[in-house]
Structure 1
């Protein structure tokens, strides 16, 4: 069976969950992930990749997703854990934790991106730019993004110099400059090295 035919077969035969993460490229804060299950005939013309929506649109869609999904869950992995296992494994771990919390076990997973660590014995397909192709992945991207943004805004009160309300932990110039001047906070990923004007990974 060709890959696209196989994907269609699993989507027709099994309860499908879409998974995505937010915060992989950040310098500070946890990585968040979400898993969402919709009815097979679910339709929402507004749902799209979270990066293509405004903050207002994402916040408006969040309660809609939570009310209309058959099941959803959001989970996170801390900056400390990211430092221990690396950001890639932490992203997959966050997805696995979200799947654990769904309350119903999917028979098939569609995951945004090109790599994934298998979850239990559930078959999966990785879909590049899947958040722009499948509603459940788009919904997962919105939940992961909005929950993470909310988290960063809350902890920003304790560390105003790092501008987390605006940058949400991403390595903007202002954020990097603050780290170079003031050092890391407990929320920073210590295995990420800051240079000015470029962020690199060890």
Structure 2
């Protein structure tokens, strides 16, 4: 299987279990959306796929291989990029330095988000929330990752920049998984590809299917 998946995954934070035997499949290249309110487990799914939280049971499968015991840094080296909701940039470095950590040529990042060009000499920690999201996503674009995991990609962005962000993510030639509270209206996969949706509620998957089916059933996180 091409892409990345959790198989019957359980994750614990101390005495509390955050994921209760969750199976989530994200085909690649393609676009997968994790829907759920805060506390639903969608962020934990991203962390489990990235290897930043351990599984207490189950497996992570990437391109058909079990990578459950592969550490996060090695998954990153193999082409997995996680863009967390917070602390996604190096605040003490400038915008340019953040971008150059991902690639020597930062042209593609500035083409994606022209708003970053006049901010290149600013320290990332002084940027607004939306600007930091642009910077974090630009670094992911420059990395040319095979798997891109993004927690609330458009948080703090204007509607216009958010639409641009969804367009960029949908066009990537990668396995892209985004976590959102609700289905973004502008999120579209490349022509010929299907957007898949997994809706989570209280650490369990309550719906898995194509985005069109989710729209028909009115998929909304409710708890």
Return the structure number with greater helix share.
Answer: 1
Return the structure number with greater strand share.
Answer: 2
Asked whether the two chains share a fold, i.e. TM above 0.5, the reply is: no
| TM-score normalised per structure 1 | 0.26
